[in-house]
Amino acid sequence: MSEGNRKVSDLREGEDNVSIKVRVLSVDEPKVIHTKRGDRTISEAIVGDESGRIKLTMWGNQAGKINEGDAIELKGAWTTSFKGDVQLNIGSRGEINKIDEGSLPKPEDIPENTPKASESSSRSYGRSRGGYRRGGYGGRGYRRDRGGYSSSFGSSEEGEESSDSEDEE
């Protein structure tokens, strides 16, 4: 799933380690947003190839690295869904490299269509990464760890969420 010849139209929500070549159609200035893990710097762009367009969110040190019209290759990106559309994300563990302009279509030749999230995840606001599941009977529940669930009966972890989050910067 990480081949560099992927097309925008082939992307699906929930993918990790995505490599893809795209042209930057528009890019916003970096901005600071407030998340549950503190302030984060992001920049958003619309990128595309001959198969369609997709929103790209660049987290942390990746924000502000690209310009409108650039031809770029993303390595180590991941996908999420928001309001029914698949979106690309790249953070500190990913790479953005400028590539040969001729390898991608001109902006006016990139179609308007965007990849859609599957119906079951179109209500999702990011990738599912586990977290605390509340149960009945006095706060009994299960906390999802990698590889399964562990009991968290009355522990101090109640209410905490998984530390592996999409705002990973």
| Structural domains present in the chain | 8-121 (2.40.50.140), 130-160 (no CATH)
β-pairing, 95-98 with 38-49?
A: unpaired
Q: Which pLDDT value is given to residue 113?
A: 79
Q: Which pLDDT value is given to residue 157?
A: 40
Distance CA 154, CA 138 (A): 8
Q: Which pLDDT value is given to residue 4?
A: 52
Q: Which pLDDT value is given to residue 3?
A: 52
Measure the CA dihedral 54/112/13/76, to 10°.
-30
DSSP state of 166: S
Token representation of residue 93: 């563990």
Find all residues with CB under 8 Å of 37, minimum gap 6, and list them: 165, 167
Q: Which pLDDT value is given to residue 119?
A: 66
Q: Which pLDDT value is given to residue 30?
A: 97
Distance CA 30, CA 135 (A): 40
Q: Compute the Cα dihedral for 64, 65, 68, 72 and give only its sign.
A: negative
Phi then psi dihedrals of residue 103, to 5 deg: -80, -5
Each of the 169 residues of the chain gets a pLDDT tens digit; together they read: 445 579 999 999 999 999 999 999 999 999 999 999 999 999 999 999 999 999 999 999 999 999 999 999 999 999 999 999 999 999 999 999 999 988 899 999 999 878 888 865 444 444 444 443 344 444 444 444 445 444 444 444 434 333 344 444 4
Q: Note the Cα 120 to chain centre separation in Å.
A: 18
Q: Which pLDDT value is given to residue 32?
A: 97
Question: Is the full-model pTM beyond 0.75?
Answer: no
Q: Which pLDDT value is given to residue 162?
A: 37
Bridge partners for 23 per DSSP: 48, 71
* Three-point CA angle 24, 15, 28, nearest 5°: 25
- Please check whether residue 99 is in contact with residue 49, taking contact to mean a CB–CB distance below 8 angstroms: no
Burial class of 148 by CB neighbour count within 10 A (0 to 12, 13 to 18, 19+): exposed
- Please check whether residue 13 is in contact with residue 86, taking contact to mean a CB–CB distance below 8 angstroms: yes
